[in-house]
């Protein structure tokens, strides 16, 4: 629950159950041992007078798990953490858990299950909720358990456990699963409904019922029979101990769901890789056939997932607080995204006034108290981040004394915290298997909140030190403590017995959660998504600086994934997630049940809009991938604020510069530096950031480099390529548009790029270039031009071609590459027109017989109202696909481009080597 500033108790409009409670200190043992880690150390016992995890009444609490799970690191800060963290002493079961599409709450009699499909707008219109509401309870006859414990868990599934001494019940639930899998003993299977159910199908051991307008299927072992009596549905299990339940997207889906009713999920796992500027992640469920041999299953993908997969999806969909979920009929799926750009700092441009920057650097570096009185982990972290941002800037203008002073300040404060026994230290809790910094803040100790927010600043600062002082970052020196903080917050290892796997990051939800206990009626929450991605970017920088490719690639995966989740769920970039009744273009907080236009500590619009931007660093560039969303965001802030920002003007200027650098520069110039910087910012950094982007242009995230520490900027159609090489030897960085950049060792290089291979990356097959007249050709060296895409006439044509431009090539022969996918890069321009969106369909006639065997329709691309080419590519994601790919034998490939929305014409570039379609064939 990101809390970067003190907050009044009534700051956020939520139900009383969501209010934060005051906590008292817990007793601590008198003696502590010091655990050495390289040159640093941490304590194995909390400092005297401090607290570890507690209930809301201040009583110490330990993980609520079964003997089978005892001693295993508990993944706090998850969507289901209230099963294991009994935050409220009078609730030994759980608070509502939002798995989506289903919601859950453990009770004495079993698992309450709901499927909320209608949002409620609460808090004077400032929050939307798909709140948990019980449709039915899955349990056993007579079950009356005194508590519910976590029995097992994996990457996004969990198994709650009930026992009353006579009866035991285990269920397996997970993100994206329409099924609940149950195993019970000592009683009959029992489903208790909230109202009298309507039976729409009765097949003995398979029963279809409708409750509160939602359709459920109940599955018992073959040979058994469900009995309906009022609101109770039960069956003897015939000597077996398993049954399952599923929420159906429609009654006619029963046959499909029946196929997988006894393919019980036993685990979940994500695997990721990064290469060539692309991040690939595969999400896999392991299953066990309780009857028959079926091992497949059904999974509902969130929007941030189905936008980036080419795997086949069924027509079935579900409602969720994150927009439409789409169903895949398989035990795994893969997403492919462009890596998010990360730089240690923006490069120097000719527009930077050296004297002005020097003066502002001195203001921060030589302040009487550069750390602004910070003592706890959060505020110390912000101060570290502020100073670390300035190191590359001082280096750029040859201010080596200032650079070295800043590095000395960073090293000194980090080493202070990385050494046990002083006024501040890190302490390990063996019960919760977590590392907590003391003095703590905002519940990082008693509630295990926000570790990724706090420690991300430390890792970021350490990465900047490592860039200039590799010896300091060695494991035998201070790097070991940095890695220990990483293990606490973003541990990539599932077999580490000291820390859980990816504590705060929910791999299926696509983002982190802030609350350690998840003890709210609205589920878990995250406010400052940008402080979460600050940790991810820090991992990229730390891994690059220390040669740790595992942590570097982990950071790339986390940043690409959460960057898309932020765009969709915090900023509603495609305007497809927030309910129309919500009435806001941004959310300050995302909850399991929905989102809120709010923060924990204030209702000031500047902070609501800015909290998901700060800290602004070279890891913030991914935000520039959705420029129209930034414009809507800034416009809403100014409407709600009654004018431009005042308190956090620097943060919001920097945010605006990611879409409209010139407009942000105008505001900076008008302010003339006469303002109070946000606590994690400085005038030096803000001046450099805004001036540099005004010169370079906004980030162009459609192009990626083949190392994570690279970025591309575009101004008036001219791209500038930037990369930082942490290595000890020069290297050539290749970008996805074919340009290259030579980067000396331990340096940042900037240039317009050298053309080599014009094919887009990944170069998975034959490249066809667009020519006016409807031609696709492999020939290079065309005459640059453009074709006019007719207006949509103010009518929505999303998914259906309307007056399309058609480009075609016939007589194509090729062998399909296994796992290959279609890619394309289409420069489009809407001029100054507002509200336009171009759409693409690519079709394959495999044999040239006139029938298209495979069609792929991609989500439309919302162009900006600024003249200049923008790149529309396959990363927008498939909207729909029919048929399958196979080898091409005298086949035909067709490209159709049309206006899906809008009432003005637009343009499509032709005749260049940058307007291409690449098919996955050899």
Catalytically active residues are 450, 527, 531
If one counts every other C-beta atom within 10 angstroms of the C-beta of residue 18, the result is: 16
Count of residues in the chain: 922
DSSP state at residue 751: E
Token pair of 583, please? 């009435």
Query: Residues near 390 by Cβ (< 8 Å), separated by ≥ 6?
Result: 361, 364, 365, 402, 406, 682, 684, 685
Token pair of 89, please? 């002493």
- What is the separation of C-alpha 305 from the centre of its chain, rounded to a whole number of angstroms? 10
- Residue 739 φ then ψ, to 5°: -80, 155
Beta strand segments in 593-657, E: 594-596
CA atoms 781, 782, 784, 787: torsion sign? negative
Asked whether 137 and 109 are in contact (CB, 8 A), the reply is yes
604 vs 5: CA distance, rounded Å = 12
647 vs 607: CA distance, rounded Å = 8
Q: Which of 704, 697, 564, 688 is nearest to 623 (CA)?
A: 564
394 vs 122: CA distance, rounded Å = 48
- Residue 670 φ then ψ, to 5°: -70, -35
Asked whether 252 and 276 are in contact (CB, 8 A), the reply is no
Task: Give the gyration radius of the chain's Cα atoms.
Answer: 28
Burial 195-223, CB ≥16 within 10 A → b, else e:
eebeebeeeebbbbbbbbebbbbbbbbee
Distances (CA, A) of 736 to 701, 724, 873, 921: 11, 17, 12, 19
Asked whether 736 and 356 are in contact (CB, 8 A), the reply is no
H-helix or E-strand containing 415? helix 400-417
Query: Residues near 470 by Cβ (< 8 Å), separated by ≥ 6?
Result: 545, 546
Asked whether 899 and 838 are in contact (CB, 8 A), the reply is yes
Q: Which residues pair with 111 in a beta bridge?
A: 106, 138
Q: How buried is residue 746: exposed, middle or buried, by Cβ count under 10 Å (0-12/13-18/19+)? A: middle
764 vs 431: CA distance, rounded Å = 49
216 vs 199: CA distance, rounded Å = 10
Query: Residues near 294 by Cβ (< 8 Å), separated by ≥ 6?
Result: 259, 260, 262, 263
Distances (CA, A) of 558 to 594, 630, 677: 22, 22, 29
């Amino acid at each position: 629950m990101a809390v970067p500033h003190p907050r009044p108790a009534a700051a956020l409009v939520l139900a009383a159950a969501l209010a934060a409670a005051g906590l008292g200190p817990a007793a601590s043992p008198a003696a502590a041992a010091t655990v050495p880690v390289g040159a640093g150390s941490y304590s194995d016992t909390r400092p005297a007078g401090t607290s570890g995890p507690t209930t809301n009444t201040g009583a110490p609490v330990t993980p609520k798990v079964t003997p089978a799970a005892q001693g295993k690191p508990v993944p706090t800060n998850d969507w289901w953490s209230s099963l294991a963290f009994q935050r409220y002493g009078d609730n030994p079961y759980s608070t509502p858990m939002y798995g989506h599409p289903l919601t859950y709450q453990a009770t004495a009699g079993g698992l309450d299950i709901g499927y909320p499909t209608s949002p409620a707008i609460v808090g004077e219109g400032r929050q939307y909720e798909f709140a948990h509401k019980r449709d039915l309870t899955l349990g056993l006859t007579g079950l009356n358990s005194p508590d519910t414990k976590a029995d097992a868990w994996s990457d996004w599934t969990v198994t709650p456990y009930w026992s009353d001494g006579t009866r035991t019940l285990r269920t397996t639930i997970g993100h994206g699963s329409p099924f609940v899998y149950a195993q019970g003993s000592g009683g009959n299977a029992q489903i208790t409904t909230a109202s009298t159910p309507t039976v729409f199908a009765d097949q003995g051991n398979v029963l279809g019922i409708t409750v509160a307008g939602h359709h459920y299927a109940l599955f018992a072992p073959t040979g058994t029979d469900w009995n309906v009596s009022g609101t109770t549905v039960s069956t003897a299990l015939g000597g077996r101990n398993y049954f399952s339940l599923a929420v159906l997207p429609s009654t006619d889906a029963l046959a499909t769901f029946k196929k997988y009713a006894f393919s019980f999920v036993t685990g979940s796992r994500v695997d990721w890789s990064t290469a060539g500027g692309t991040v690939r992640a595969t999400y896999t469920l392991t299953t066990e056939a309780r009857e028959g041999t079926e091992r497949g299953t059904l999974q509902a993908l969130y929007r941030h997932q189905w936008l980036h997969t080419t795997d086949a999806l069924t027509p079935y969909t579900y409602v969720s607080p994150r927009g439409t979920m789409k169903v895949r009929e398989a035990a795994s799926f893969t997403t492919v995204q462009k890596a998010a750009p990360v730089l240690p700092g923006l490069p120097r441009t000719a527009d930077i006034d050296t004297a002005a920057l020097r003066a502002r650097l001195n203001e921060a570096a030589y302040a009487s108290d550069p750390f602004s009185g910070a003592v706890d982990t959060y505020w110390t972290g912000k101060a570290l981040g502020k100073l670390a941002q300035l190191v590359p800037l001082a280096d750029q203008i040859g201010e080596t004394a200032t650079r070295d002073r800043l590095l000395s300040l960073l090293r000194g404060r980090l080493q202070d915290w990385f050494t046990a026994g002083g006024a501040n230290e890190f302490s390990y809790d063996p019960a919760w298997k977590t590392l907590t910094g003391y003095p703590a803040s905002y519940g990082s100790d008693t509630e295990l909140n926000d570790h990724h927010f706090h420690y991300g600043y430390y890792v970021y600062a350490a990465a900047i030190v490592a860039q200039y002082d590799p010896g300091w970052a060695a494991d035998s020196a201070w790097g070991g403590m940095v890695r220990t903080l990483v293990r606490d917050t973003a541990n990539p290892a599932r077999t580490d017995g000291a820390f859980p796997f990816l504590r705060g990051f929910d791999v299926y939800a696509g983002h982190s959660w802030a609350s350690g206990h998840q003890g709210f009626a609205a589920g878990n929450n995250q406010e400052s998504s940008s402080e979460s991605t600050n940790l991810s970017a820090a991992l990229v920088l730390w891994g690059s600086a220390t040669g740790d490719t595992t942590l570097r690639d982990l950071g790339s995966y986390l940043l690409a994934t959460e960057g898309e989740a932020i765009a969709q769920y915090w900023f509603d970039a495609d305007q497809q997630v927030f309910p129309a009744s919500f009435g806001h273009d941004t959310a300050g907080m995302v909850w399991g049940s929905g989102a809120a236009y709010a923060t924990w500590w204030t209702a000031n619009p500047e902070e609501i809009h800015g909290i998901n931007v700060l800290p602004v660093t070279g890891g913030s560039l991914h935000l520039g991938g959705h420029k129209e969303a930034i414009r809507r965001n800034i416009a809403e802030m100014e409407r709600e604020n009654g004018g431009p920002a005042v308190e956090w003007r620097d943060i919001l200027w920097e945010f605006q510069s990611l879409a409209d650098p010139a407009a942000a520069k105008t505001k900076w110039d008008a302010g003339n530096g006469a303002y109070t910087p946000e606590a994690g910012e400085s005038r030096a950094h803000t001046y450099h950031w805004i001036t540099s982007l005004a010169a370079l242009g906004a980030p162009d995230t459609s192009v990626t480099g083949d190392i994570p520490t690279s970025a591309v900027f575009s101004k008036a159609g001219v791209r500038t390529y930037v990369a930082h090489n942490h290595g000890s030897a020069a290297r050539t960085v290749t970008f996805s548009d074919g340009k290259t950049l030579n980067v000396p060792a331990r340096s940042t290089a900037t240039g317009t790029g050298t053309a080599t291979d014009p094919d887009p990356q990944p170069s998975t097959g034959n490249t066809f270039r667009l020519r006016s007249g409807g031609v696709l050709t492999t020939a290079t060296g065309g005459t640059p031009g453009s074709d006019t895409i007719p207006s949509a006439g103010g009518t929505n044509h999303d998914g259906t071609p309307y007056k399309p431009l058609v480009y075609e090539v016939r007589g194509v022969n090729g062998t399909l590459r296994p796992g290959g996918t279609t890619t394309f890069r289409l420069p489009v321009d809407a001029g100054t027109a507002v509200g336009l969106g171009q759409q693409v369909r690519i079709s394959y006639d495999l044999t040239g017989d006139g029938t298209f065997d495979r069609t792929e329709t991609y989500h439309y691309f919302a162009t900006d109202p600024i003249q200049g080419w923008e790149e529309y590519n396959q990363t927008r994601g498939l909207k729909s696909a029919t048929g399958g790919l196979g080898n091409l034998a005298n086949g035909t490939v067709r490209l159709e481009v049309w206006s899906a929305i809008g009432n003005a014409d637009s343009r499509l570039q032709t005749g260049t080597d940058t307007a291409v379609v690449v098919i996955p064939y050899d």
